[in-house]
């Protein structure tokens, strides 16, 4: 079913819903980009926008377990990602990159998306923000 | 057509200048610009203390001129602004900060202002 359509609570009729994909491709701690992206995702989800997050490239390390962000005096990106489902963001994906040094170590909080399916996946969203 | 613009690029990034030029052009062409939302490092453009080098343009002044001419709201994300030292009087008071520096014409706002424009009838344009 088209993710941009949902049944109206009262009438049961299909109606258009706003869908938003955040593509995160930045290193988790080099800048505040990942943190800013997640904050935006939280806010959108709270306002009942259908939100998904896709990690790729340098952002794959966001999904590793056991971040020691205290060493950098920064908030843990790992914890911020784990809080996404609390805000209603359940769809977390990562682009499978067999060449990534983390390929075999990614945590189970996101589902893999084959690189060959990435374009079709992105096409299913009305808005995309890239961080 | 109705547009809403998100500016995420820092003022010294060419993406920021592109956002400014685009917004000016949209207004010149008579399009409706719902709002301009500053996020990430773009919020620095809302600092009244930003002083570009001689011969370089002041993006702050150009945004202010755009606001004066069009009254399109210039919303600055509060969380992004606070962590980059861009503060209005109210936030300065509530966080016991010694000064405030939000330039005239800009308005501190939450992400809800941006989300309000996520509608099928409004075209979103992002400059990152």
Q: pLDDT band at residue A99, thresholds of 50, 70 and 90?
A: confident
- pLDDT, mean of residues A105-110: 78
- pLDDT greater than 80 at residue A97: no
| Helical residues (DSSP H) of A1-131, grouped into ranges | 33-46, 77-82, 118-123
pLDDT digits (tens, 9 = 90+) for B94-126: 999 999 999 999 999 999 999 999 988 899 999
Report the residue count for chain A: 131
Note whether B40 and A36 are within 8 A (CB): yes
Question: What distance in Å separates residue A16's CA from the closest CA in chain B?
Answer: 9
Residue B15: per-residue pLDDT: 96
- The conformation of residue B102, written as its DSSP 8-state character, comes to B
- pLDDT, mean of residues B73-89: 97
Query: Is B118–A127 a contact, with Cβ atoms under 8 angstroms apart?
Result: yes
What is the Cα–Cα distance from A113 to B10, expressed in whole angstroms? 32
Residue A60 neighbours by CB under 8 Å, 6+ apart? A94, A95, A97, A100, A102, A106
Percent of chain A with pLDDT over 70: 95
pTM of the model as a whole = 0.89
Q: pLDDT band at residue A13, thresholds of 50, 70 and 90?
A: confident
Q: pLDDT band at residue A103, thresholds of 50, 70 and 90?
A: low
Residue of A nearest to B124 (CA): A127
Q: pLDDT band at residue A14, thresholds of 50, 70 and 90?
A: confident
Give chain A's mean pLDDT.
Answer: 89
Instruction: Tokens for B56, please give them.
Output: 């370089």
Contacts of A126 in chain B (CB under 8 A): 120
Is residue A53 helix, strand or coil?
Answer: strand
- pLDDT greater than 80 at residue A1: no
The answer to whether ipTM exceeds 0.90 is: no
pLDDT digits (tens, 9 = 90+) for B21-58: 999 999 999 999 999 999 999 999 999 999 988 888 89
Of the listed ranges A9-18, B88-97, B102-111, the one predicted with least confidence: A9-18
Residue B8: per-residue pLDDT: 98
Question: What residues are paired with A6 via a beta bridge?
Answer: A15
pLDDT digits (tens, 9 = 90+) for A29-85: 999 999 999 999 999 999 989 999 999 999 999 999 889 888 888 999 999 999 999
Interface of B with A in 60-89 (CB under 8 A): 79-80, 83
Residue of B nearest to A42 (CA): B111
């Amino acid at each position: 079913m088209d993710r941009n359509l949902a049944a109206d609570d009262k009438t049961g009729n299909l109606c258009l819903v706003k869908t938003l994909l955040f593509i995160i491709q930045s290193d988790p701690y080099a800048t505040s980009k990942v943190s800013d992206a997640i904050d935006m995702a939280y806010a959108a989800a709270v306002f009942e926008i259908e939100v998904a997050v896709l990690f790729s490239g340098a952002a794959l390390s966001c999904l590793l377990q056991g971040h020691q962000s205290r060493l950098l005096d920064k908030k843990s990106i790992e914890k911020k990602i784990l809080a996404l489902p609390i805000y209603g963001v359940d769809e977390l994906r990562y682009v499978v990159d067999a060449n990534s040094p983390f390929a075999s170590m990614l945590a189970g909080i996101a589902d893999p998306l084959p690189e060959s399916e990435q374009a079709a996946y992105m096409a299913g969203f009305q808005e995309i923000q890239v961080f | 057509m109705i547009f809403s613009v998100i500016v995420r690029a820092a003022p010294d990034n060419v993406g920021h200048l592109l956002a400014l030029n685009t917004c000016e052009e949209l207004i010149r062409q008579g399009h409706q610009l719902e709002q301009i939302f500053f996020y990430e490092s773009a919020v620095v453009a809302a600092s009244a203390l930003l002083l570009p080098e001689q011969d370089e343009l002041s993006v702050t002044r150009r945004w202010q001129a755009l606001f004066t001419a069009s009254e399109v709201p210039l919303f600055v994300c509060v969380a992004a602004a606070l962590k980059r030292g861009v503060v209005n009087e109210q936030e300065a008071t509530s966080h016991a900060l010694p000064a405030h520096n939000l330039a005239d014409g800009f308005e501190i706002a939450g992400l809800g202002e941006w989300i309000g424009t996520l509608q099928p009838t409004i075209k979103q344009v992002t400059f990152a």
